[in-house]
Amino acid sequence: MRQAIRVAIDGPSGSGKSTLGLELARRLGLAYVDTGAMYRAFAWKVLQAGADGPEEILDLLARTEMTVDADPDAFRVLVDGRDVTGHLRDPEVSSGASTVAVIPEVRAWLVALQRDLAQASVVMEGRDIGTVVLPDADCKFFIVADENVRIERRTAQWGESSNRAASKDVKERDRRDSSRKTSPLRAADDAILIDTSEQTIEESLAIMLAALRIDASGAAVGADSS
């Protein structure tokens, strides 16, 4: 049986890290955790409650229960027992996630939950996994892509009429993620950089599997996989 592994994947909005993380988890038969979805889930609750300002948000945080189903084929996030997964890609929720993510107490609460989810083998992706959440991960990847490519991807996700909103979202989230005082977006020193601007999903996955010494079928390369 293959030894337990923890894989950390980081990168900016629209870089393709969620697509790659999900597919990698499927190929390897591992749990999958999209930590950005956890921030968006809390942002959803903040929006629903109409909480405004750090004090109200922290009061709401103290009364929030979040659970995650880490099955890569059925990833779900539940807030206070309610499945909110279907709302997590709404533009207003995505925007709200960057707002709550700059609050240190929110990050500390979610990092603790994320570390609990990483007690066993996992593919975990986000913006501070290799640097903060799992600094001792077995393998770290930092996924990047040209800004225009990332905007095109977000536009395709939201619909052609949303190009201006997609551009604003990508640029604003880049600014917030890179400039926040707590856990800013950056590549871990030992992370493997993958630029997906002109790569297919399969090409990027091949790089990741090679780094993990696992072939496309999921078998360990050069190691006893019995």
pLDDT value at residue 80: 97
Residue 217 counted as domain residue: no
User: Which CATH number fits the domain that encloses residue 109?
Assistant: 3.40.50.300
- Provide the whole-model pTM: 0.87
> For 23-42, how does the pLDDT look when each residue is reduced to its tens digit (9 = 90+)?
999 999 999 999 999 999 99
Q: Is the pLDDT of residue 141 over 60?
A: yes
Query: What are the pLDDT digits (tens) for 92-105?
Result: 898 888 889 889 99
224 is a domain residue? no
pLDDT interval class at 222 (50, 70, 90): very low
Q: What is the number of domains present in the chain?
A: 1
Q: What is the DSSP string of 115-145?
A: HHHTSSSEEEEESSIIIII-TT-SEEEEEE-
* Any domain includes 75: yes
46 lies in some domain? yes
pLDDT digits (tens, 9 = 90+) for 54-81: 999 999 999 999 999 999 999 999 999 9
Q: With contact defined as beta carbons under 8 Å apart, do 26 and 74 qualify?
A: no
